Structure 1
């Protein structure tokens, strides 16, 4: 009698793919943990860390979430039990550096209604003023904001790889009759209310009588304007902190890193001068502009501790003001106030194709 033979089963062999994938996820988690830890230690302290700090801040949330999903897919047993909690710690550690407005996800809790005497403020990096745009469209965009105070940066041009002086102030005065205008270096402030003082801040304290435009441009990165608002003096700080790198240079050239190294102390000097002046200022104040600094960078630590970020008055979960390819993943533009100035609205406005920075629109009023 023929007895059918049972098929011989191949011995079970452990999958090689899963251990390899597990090692990759663990390696990526360790590398990310090291990056986060070094950022906490070195950001704002070592000039070279300005470069890792350029990554999109939402990555501090996105990377742990992606690694957690991969860990669920490829890990098992003991490995998963310790890896997922570790990634959760990294997620919590990075949430504050991601620049996301978590309060926007909660219903209610917004700022109170603005009183009749509230001020409309518009702060914007214009990207070389109107030199790369239709001047009529540029000024129409400004007038459409109908702001009481305008804080404008980059009143200059970019020619032959260098910043060049321009003078568009006569056109600006004609477009905004009745406004008071203060200009210094590349910074321009317009106010419907009388300007009572414009004291220099930081390196801008150097005598300007015989200074060249290049020197005034480099000295004046903070323009303070004290404005009389119905008997209350409010100080507006118009800010443009120097960018930390030269994108015209190759990352493989020593000159590229030389620019980063030399710019770092200049940035710190302007930050320190701004913080010192604002802390000593007895008036209600608003600090706004392009800080060329993301939420992940330690450079803003002093300002964020001493003054209030206006973001809680916004409804935007991802408050990016600058981006690549139309995706605003970086918040480089900020506004801060003290406790004597209430913020009723904070919104990011489209630049209508006139700049690579979004504008900042605010409604504020002096506290009672």
Structure 2
């Protein structure tokens, strides 16, 4: 009974505080699987609470269903079963883990070419040296590997497209050393012509919202508070841009949060998820960390009448700690 009470309080606080209070950023990164595993464990221990077994069982079933919903268990949502008439667009989204810094460069580019996407939304277009980000310029190689594509770079974000570019939006770049990364924008907006319409593609890489350090030192918590404010501020800027954008929008990338299902980007955005399994999709880590693949950090939102015909994770483990996301969109003809 005590454990059930504690878990109920934890679940309520998760709903109320996730993404809103900086100390909770340290807690909310538990694997979503935990929201199902804990009530299942308590249900298995019910014989130890025989006098209150029935009412406790009812409470735990409610907690299990609520946790499963929050964690993303159940059928996928947001994809369409029949394709509306319109222009198909393939989108490839991937956090590259510092471009091809420690990879076989030829194999890295061969992997990208094999996707044959109309639009590539790629994150971590940079190198890392010690504790400092390093800007790179691989434009000459990109032109050779992707003839007919246009590349647009914003900080550590790069969008490649063979669709006509209407506007490549760029935020002002801070001038200090490293400020392009630490103070620059964490999303990139590119407006593309699709059929007869303009569609905005948002390439997102929000910062890690907490700092892992010595728990007995105050600067660990100050750093965590600063990082959570950074994450929240960048998400707020993204929301404001989406809400003020009259064009239909595709918003995708690495949000560095497993709980975007409970967040809204505004502007009528809808969250999408692969529909092939009742298990929640997991995109991190697929390599590079001694951790099981239990988190989804990479998300997809659309708004207005854009339809997602297919959305799946797969590939990229040879080069990155994130699996890639492959998306098939349908952009309907504009109806006045």
> TM-score by structure 2 length?
0.90
Given the alignment of the two structures, is residue 130 of structure 1 paired with residue 96 of structure 2, yes or no? no
| CA deviation profile, 1:263-307 (whole Å, cap 9, x unmatched) | 222212211111111122121210000001112x68x62227831
After superposition, where does 1:5-154 map in structure 2 within 5 Å? 26-71=1-46, 73-76=47-50, 78-100=51-73, 102-104=74-76, 111-113=81-83, 117-154=87-124
The change in CA–CA distance for 1:316 and 1:236 in structure 2 (over 3 A counts) is: farther
Cα distance in 1 for partners of 2:308, 2:177 equals 35
Residue 114 of structure 1 contacts residue 344 of structure 1 at CA under 8 Å; is this kept in 2?
A: no
* Two-structure CA RMSD over aligned residues (Å): 2.3
* Partner SS, residue 41 of structure 1: helix
The change in CA–CA distance for 1:363 and 1:163 in structure 2 (over 3 A counts) is: same
Q: How many residues align?
A: 328
User: Which residue does the alignment assign to 2:317?
Assistant: 352
Runs of at least 5 residues in structure 2 that lack an aligned partner in the other structure: none
| CA deviation profile, 1:325-353 (whole Å, cap 9, x unmatched) | 46321111101001321110000012132
Residue 315 of structure 1 contacts residue 347 of structure 1 at CA under 8 Å; is this kept in 2?
A: no
Higher relative contact order (Cα pairs below 8 Å, separated by 6+ residues):
2
The structure with more radius of gyration: 1
* Partner SS, residue 219 of structure 2: helix
Cα distance in 2 for partners of 1:304, 1:69 equals 41
User: Which residue does the alignment assign to 1:15?
Assistant: none
Residue 342 of structure 1 contacts residue 365 of structure 1 at CA under 8 Å; is this kept in 2?
A: yes
**1:361 positional shift:** 0.4
The change in CA–CA distance for 1:88 and 1:150 in structure 2 (over 3 A counts) is: same
**1:91 positional shift:** 1.4
Given the alignment of the two structures, is residue 158 of structure 1 paired with residue 123 of structure 2, yes or no? no
Whose helix fraction is larger, Structure 1's or Structure 2's?
A: 1
Runs of at least 5 residues in structure 1 that lack an aligned partner in the other structure: 1-25
Cα distance in 1 for partners of 2:190, 2:255 equals 18
**1:362 positional shift:** 0.4
Pairing partner for 1:364 from 326, 329, 333:
329
Pairing partner for 2:280 from 295, 298, 318:
318
